Structure 1
Amino acid sequence: MGYSLMVGVRSVGDWIGDRFEIFDVHEGGMSLVYVVCDHLGKSGRTVVALKTLKDELLRHKIRRSRFATECRLWVQLGQHPNIVQAYAVEIIEGKPYVVLELVQGGDLVRWIGSRRLNLVQSLRFGVQFCQGMEHATRQGLSCHRDIKPGNLLITEDGVLKITDFGLARICEEMVAFRPELADGTIPLADAPKSPQRIIFTDPRDQEARPIGFANPEATRTVRPSAQENAGAQANAASARSTPKTLGPPVPATNGPIGVAMPTPTTMEKEKETSDYVPLGEKADPRLTRSGAKLGTGAYMSPEQFRDPGSVDCRADIYAFGVVLFEMITGKLPFRGKSLDMLDRQHSHYEPPSIVPSIPRSHARVASSVDQLVQRCLKKDPADRFGTMSDLRKAILAILSRMGAK
């Protein structure tokens, strides 16, 4: 069947082919995700997610083929508790869709800055992340290339699932084709548009310092103001709120439907004169350029800035080191306002210590946790953990010392 350019964005109540009935629609700059009822049930699930690219990006046959090929690699990963399962790639009216497991609960973004994300839970998520990536490695995947909180979904039972395997390269190609179409994480049902982050009041706590210069305030504990605490509490309450029902087949949930949208990992860099976000200005890992949400530079390793095509699993370890830093501290280690700034920071500046953010009740493991995060964030890939298995074992050793599993 030929490909129709007149389909556009479908609406709730529409059908895709004679099989999928739409109950919710999520639209980003490049991608579309439909929450659907699979009336044929070929995937073994009644309610699934369908992801595809917008029509304007699929006009050319080679792009449709590339998207389908990358999605089939995701399908080949099979089933694992810590991976969002891709069941199949379906070509409907000439347009490729990937049929995905629907994860109810939202993404990790909603957890960061909330009380439920304590040190133990952060480390447990770290173990689950490593387990999912170890499985992907065994299936032949060398690198995810877009690890970030928006691509780490959390089920209602608190299980972390990695999503968007193999799509980072596609996004890079698409952004090169139409840079104004770059987008960030897909909006979640009933999720706040701009998740509240904990912003500390001491400017020294926000600085990234050049390698080789000691931070005299490394042991200084900075407490958020009452207003900032109130904001964090409000965010935690929002994360626990009940979403609107998506449709009759979707069971009731305590959180939003989580379906991540792919985002580009590279794009044209813009010049800036300052390396730091001014005190009081909220940092956003997705950078704004010409009105579009661009990139995930806040999580990119130094080598990914230089040569994104040659990275391996150690780039994912670096990216997760940033995620772990953010889970524990509520903020990013580097918060430049452009990719140029982030490139300099990730390549030449040392991340702050996370020790001040670790509660006194866990003081005896604070140094070990800090060393683990700092090792993940080493500039030279050879100085990081060599495999996901090595990282997982290091996290488990700390959890064991804490008397947790």
Structure 2
Amino acid sequence: MHHSPDHNLPQGMNPADLLRQGMRPDTIGDNAQPPFHAPSLEELAPLFPELDFIKLIGEGGMGAVYKARQCALDRLIALKILPEEIGGDAAFSEQFTREAKALATLNHPNIVAIHEFGKKDDLYYIVMEYVDGTNLRTIMERGLINPKEALAIVPQICDALQYAHDRGIVHRDIKPENILLNRAGTVKVADFGLVKLVPAQRTSATGGIAQQENSNASVLTRDGKVMGTPAYMAPEQLETPSDVDHRADIYALGVVFYQMLTGELPGTRLSTPFRKNAIDAPLNDIVRKALESDPGKRYQQAGIMKTSLETLSATPPHPTYLNWRLTAGGLIGIAAGASLGIYASPAFIHKGTFATLIAAGAILLAASFLIHRAMKKSHENT
């Protein structure tokens, strides 16, 4: 059986490095399930004759993902196979269909689209948009992300979250691995809600979250237990996971934002991002509000957080702030396809800035070269 969304979905691609880094298995406690072993291309070919398999992109606790070409439509897709041990679980089958149908309705330029889903020979699968680019983790590790670009990336994530939240869907696992930038530079949020579709891992009585070797790996547990990635989880996601709502995603975005600005994860006592990176105090306040431990004190909507960021753009900046804001607009304008209207708004442009704009253009070209080189290295390594 298979199901296809009724709406027209955009084409695109899923980067190999995203899936290698974002699908590493991890567990809590001593009773974890064995690691998932991905089917070979030869095993999958007869099950999916409509696909021309190219390669296994990555595998881990959340399943395996393959790059393939959908022959009839002549487009590249990403095929996710969920762990095989769930094949005989009738209760899961009903949940999978219900959740996947909801996820397939997400049709937004900043969300990786689901084209099809179903079950073949006890293997649950999802056919997804394939994004030709890289993920935020890889960019951060290569030093190509800094406070200048953060203001161009985060509003796009806010758009994706607001769209999903308006439809009652919570991501639950926002982290740099799940934030993609394609070659045009558009931000694409991946794996919306899929953490709920993957078979559970058991936890020990003590939990042991802080002792995980890899804080970037997703932790999956049964209903009423932890689901997500510890380093990016809101306090309530750890304490009362059954009561988690969309504000947990806003907290996770705050962690990602903080990490972009400081190069590190927030601790129990937050350091001040703008003191470390010459970030204006208003931006620091936005990050801190997203990271409030009390959900009621956080931004209540991702769209409100985006509005706060846009308000910064409407405020006449310090001259040095203007320079890097234009740089951010230039970089993401070419590398992320974002509108320069926010980042070089009329409030930013006044007499005497023509030379600055020319300089910004030069920076834009340099940034484009850096992004292209990073993606080229990524493809050479895959």
Which residue number corresponds to residue 270 of structure 1? 208
Out of 351, 369, 374, the position equivalent to 2:270 is 351
Out of 192, 200, 205, the position equivalent to 1:174 is 200
Is residue 313 from structure 1 mapped to residue 246 from structure 2 by the alignment? yes
Whether the aligned pair in 2 keeps the contact of 1:68 and 1:96 (CA below 8 Å) is no
Out of 115, 131, 156, the position equivalent to 1:128 is 156
Which residue number corresponds to residue 98 of structure 2? 69
Whether the aligned pair in 2 keeps the contact of 1:113 and 1:330 (CA below 8 Å) is no
CA distance in 1: counterparts of 2:76 and 2:169, whole angstroms? 31
Which residue number corresponds to residue 293 of structure 2? 379
CA distance in 2: counterparts of 1:389 and 1:23, whole angstroms? 39
- AA aligned opposite 2:39: V
Whether the aligned pair in 1 keeps the contact of 2:162 and 2:302 (CA below 8 Å) is yes
- Match runs of 1:161-310 below 5 Å: 161-171=188-198, 173-176=199-202, 269-270=207-208, 284-286=215-217, 296-310=229-243
Identity of aligned residues (%): 27
Is residue 391 from structure 1 mapped to residue 310 from structure 2 by the alignment? no
| CA offset digits 1:56-97 (Å, max 9, x no partner) | 23232322332333222110112x111001112133345331
- AA aligned opposite 1:123: L
Distance 1:113 1:356, change over 3 A: farther
CA distance in 1: counterparts of 2:256 and 2:83, whole angstroms? 29
The DSSP-based 3-state class of the residue aligned with 1:111 is: helix
CA distance in 1: counterparts of 2:214 and 2:83, whole angstroms? 29
Out of 122, 125, 131, the position equivalent to 1:103 is 131
Whether the aligned pair in 2 keeps the contact of 1:14 and 1:21 (CA below 8 Å) is no
| CA offset digits 1:319-347 (Å, max 9, x no partner) | 1000000011111113xxxxxxxxxxxxx
Distance 1:11 1:267, change over 3 A: farther
Q: CA deviation at 1:12?
A: 6.5
Is residue 58 from structure 1 mapped to residue 87 from structure 2 by the alignment? yes
CA distance in 2: counterparts of 1:30 and 1:83, whole angstroms? 19
Whether the aligned pair in 2 keeps the contact of 1:73 and 1:166 (CA below 8 Å) is no
CA distance in 2: counterparts of 1:333 and 1:271, whole angstroms? 16
CA distance in 2: counterparts of 1:332 and 1:21, whole angstroms? 41
TM-score between the two structures when normalised by the length of structure 2: 0.65
Which residue number corresponds to residue 31 of structure 1? 63
Count of residue pairs brought into register by the alignment: 275
CA distance in 2: counterparts of 1:271 and 1:54, whole angstroms? 23
CA distance in 1: counterparts of 2:78 and 2:104, whole angstroms? 14
Q: Which runs of structure 1 show a deviation greater than 4 angstroms over 4 or more consecutive aligned residues?
A: none
CA distance in 1: counterparts of 2:292 and 2:140, whole angstroms? 23
Distance 1:318 1:52, change over 3 A: same
RMSD: 3.0
Q: CA deviation at 1:283?
A: 8.0
The DSSP-based 3-state class of the residue aligned with 2:183 is: coil
CA distance in 2: counterparts of 1:23 and 1:388, whole angstroms? 37
CA distance in 1: counterparts of 2:175 and 2:248, whole angstroms? 12
CA distance in 1: counterparts of 2:38 and 2:139, whole angstroms? 34
CA distance in 2: counterparts of 1:65 and 1:283, whole angstroms? 32
Out of 53, 74, 91, the position equivalent to 1:22 is 53
| CA offset digits 1:128-175 (Å, max 9, x no partner) | 00111122123x12421111111111112222111111222234x521
